[in-house]
Chains A and B, each alone.
Chain A
Amino acid sequence: MVREIHTTEYELGLHQTLLQEFWHNFKKNKLSLVGGFIVLCYAIMAIFAPLLAPYNPVEQFDAPPGMRNPMPPLSRDVDGRLFLLGTDKFGRDILSRALYGTRTLLQLAGGSIAIAMLLGVAMGAVAGYKKGTWVDELIMRTVDIMLSFPTLVLAIALVGAFGIGSLRIGPLVLSNMVKIMLVIAITYSPRFARVMRAVVLQEMAEDYVAAAKVTGASGFRILTREVLVNTIPTIIVQGSLMMATTVLTSASLSFLGLGLQPPRPSLGLMLNEARDYLFWGACCT
């Protein structure tokens, strides 16, 4: 903590751009370097999954004579192909599935956070701007009610409402992935709404908003052009904090079989399939 205070007070003039200054501070903190490195590794794994993965994650390979799927790490199939982490019970390469699974998980979490931010920011901004009116009351009481749900229970209930698999509303068909993003986004949007309302209230008291009002700007313009821009840092911080929880929630949903459906590779689902095998193994021994 002490180190951080030193570096933020560090002569601002020395570094030309914000980015350079950020990098300078970032380099000084060992913990953030380690964390950044881990995040970078995962990002590379996710982005380059198609290039890094040795095989197609849904292709099934045959075990050589005398062996059967699932195969242990470092085994070869009939045609002599090497599987670094082995195969699952359907003969699919675990390494490729894990790489693609990371990719889907991060896509899912990122998408959910983006939608949750949009929903939450809109709700919070309107509530904050219309402070004290019935609009504010309506939005914030809804938020309170949603927050009184246990998170995963709400997500599961929503999956229960929309059904497992893709969702059809009239002519509109949402893929399963988009549907899960929506479910998680709805679950987490109230938290953004709370923070957003607080920040908007704070910013509305600032002089520049009063100035904008004096020049006759409309409410919508003030909110979008003046206030919103200044709330971005807070929301970004909140979003990155939430990212970790949404990753967990989406993995939990997949684990319960309520998220992504097979054969799509997903880390949670892989763990669950492995668990079946685990019990089977335990029964046999």
Chain B
Amino acid sequence: MRAYLAKRFLFGVLTLLVTSLLIFSLLRVVPGGPVDALIGEEWDDPELRAQLRRDLGLDLPFHRQYARWLGGLFRGDLGVSLVLYRGEPVGGIILERFGVTAQLAFISLTIALLVAFPAGIAAALWKERLPDHVFRIVALGGISTPNFFLGIALIVMFGVGLRLKWGVGGYVPFGEDPWGWFLRLLLPAIVLGTDHAATISRMLRASILEALGRNHVLTAKAMGLPRKEFLIQDVLRTAMVPVVTVIGNSAGALLDGAVITEILFRLPGLGSLLVQGVYARDLPLVQSVVIVAVGIRIAVNLIVDLSYALMDPRIRYGRGQ
């Protein structure tokens, strides 16, 4: 187990390293960049340009620029924002923005799970009956509705139609107004969680149905175990392995949806920061956000893989195989 952990961790770090190199070089392929963004493309003052490039460290050879950034990365220093938040350290900005995204993701995943579990289980137990039919139609709709459309529809309903103050987005810190905080995150969380709820519950339905047909479940049934007991003990536990994979995938993909949702509901999160950074051509900001995003994704994948071992006693890492 320990060897496996070490191996996965090492590969994760390696992936991050290569990603950093990839992103760093990509963002420097196209000429212009931050200097143009700062003083404007039309402004033709070679001296000022040269001065600015020196100040920003953009005149150094490529590998030294990269080494500088990477060195900072290991010390936890992500550099300073060049355009969007002139001179402020990127690390602090990202940390602050990440908090909002994490809250959004947490609420959204909670809602998704709260909806997905009862729905998936009910659909599996009443297979091919009314609850199942309703479930399948709703779930298909949830998967095929684009985030931004659902978001706009909800804003039209709650913000414009019912004229609710929290219906049009915005963000209030939890400390200031807990209820307002929750209300304002509720709609974006629903938007973000809908297709994940649909995917998770569909997987749950399918794997419960599969588990119900397994031998050990039949045995438990034949032994006369109470229905409730074997449903929880045998069926759900077996069914959980593929479901956790899907939940992990969803958690990893939350940031994707967060980009759209945050812009739509004007939440100051990581996703909207990325888009603003791209607009402003703020290189240090963009590359750092991407690195953080990839890092989160890798960590989530690792946690998911480890959780298999907890659920399925047959899965053991690092021995045999």
Contacts and interface: CB of A to CB of B under 8 A. Distances in A.
Most B-side CB within 10 Å, residue of A141, A152, A160, A271: A160
A160 B29 CA distance: 11
Nearest to A167: B30
A162 B160 CA distance: 37
Interface stretch (A220-228, A232-240, A274-282): A274-282
A214 to B, nearest CB: 36
A56 to B, nearest CB: 26
Interface in B27-63: 27, 29-30, 32
Interface string B56-82: 000000000000000000000000000
B106 interface: no
Contact of B259 (A153, A278, A279): A153
Contacts of B293: 149-150, 153
A278 B32 CA distance: 36
A251 B146 contact: yes
Contacts of A167: 30
Interface stretch (B119-127, B238-246, B272-280): B272-280
A258 B278 contact: yes
Interface string A105-143: 000000000000000000000000000000000000100
Contacts of A145: 15, 18-19, 22
Interface stretch (B90-98, B151-159, B213-221): B151-159
Q: What is the size category of the interface that chain A forms with chain B?
A: 35 or more
Interface string A264-285: 0000100100110011011001
Given A156-B275, A160-B277, A163-B30, A150 B255 contact: yes
Interface in A1-50: none
B112 interface: no
B30 A156 contact: no
Contacts of B19: 145, 148-149
User: Is chain A's binding surface mostly helix, strand, loop or mixed?
Assistant: helix
B297 A159 contact: no
Q: What is the size category of the interface that chain B forms with chain A?
A: 35 or more
A61 interface: no
User: Is chain B's binding surface mostly helix, strand, loop or mixed?
Assistant: helix
B15 A148 contact: yes
Nearest to B297: A148
B168 A152 contact: no
Contacts of B148: 251-252, 255, 268, 271
A150 to B, nearest CB: 4
Given A161-B29, A282-B168, 5 more contacts: A148-B294, A150-B297, A248-B146, A255-B148, A255-B260
Interface of B: 15, 18-19, 22-23, 26-27, 29-30, 32, 144, 146-149, 152, 155-156, 159-160, 163, 168, 252-253, 255-257, 259-260, 263-264, 274-275, 277-279, 281, 286, 290, 293-294, 297-298, 301
25 contacts: A141-B18, A148-B15, A150-B256, A150-B294, A153-B255, A153-B290, A153-B294, A156-B259, A156-B275, A157-B286, A157-B290, A159-B278, A163-B32, A167-B30, A244-B144, A251-B146, A255-B148, A255-B260, A258-B278, A275-B152, A278-B155, A278-B156, A282-B159, A282-B160, A282-B168
